[in-house]
Amino acid sequence: METTVDKLEAMFLKSEADLEYIEKRLKLDFLNQHAVNGCPAKENPSEMLENLRDIKAKHTALSSQVNEITAAQKESMDSIRSNLQSIMELMRHFQKTTDVEVQPLTELEHESAELLDSAAQITTAVPC
């Protein structure tokens, strides 16, 4: 899920850069057209810029939603890690007090623990 969020965030950053390039290109084309012909271009550049502003506003809203999702995901991962840590401490305490030997982790449990560790490392690397 974090990989998907990272990909979405990268796509939004790229689209934002593309929108800025398009806006600059439209302004330049408008100025060049006006200088060459001495009259405004056939297409209404102010209308195009207004549409571009609308697109940028939608993009900004989507970017903020991605940031909110990332923050919520980080919060839930922190909660899961905290709960898991508490459970592990409880299990160690019960092991010591009851003299019961706990079987080693199964392969599936070991893989799950590794996934949680790798998710913890990825979560700390994602900017919010």
Q: Determine the pLDDT at residue 126.
A: 41
Report pTM: 0.45
**Which 3 state secondary structure label does DSSP give 77?**
helix
d(CA 43, CA 31): 13
Q: What are the distances in angstroms from CA 86 to CA 47, 94, 118?
A: 59, 12, 19
Return the residue matching tokens 């305490």: 93
What mean pLDDT do residues 104-112 have? 81
Over the chain, what is the mean pLDDT? 77
Asked whether residue 123 carries a pLDDT value surpassing 80, the answer given is no
Whether the Cβ atoms of residue 109 and residue 73 lie closer than 8 Å to each other: no
| Band of pLDDT at residue 87, cut at 50, 70 and 90 | confident
d(CA 101, CA 95): 6
Would you tell me how many other CB atoms lie within 10 Å of the CB of residue 70? 19
**Tell me: the pLDDT tens digits for 51-64?**
888 888 888 888 88
Q: What are the distances in angstroms from CA 99 to CA 88, 91, 92, 95, 122?
A: 16, 12, 10, 6, 37
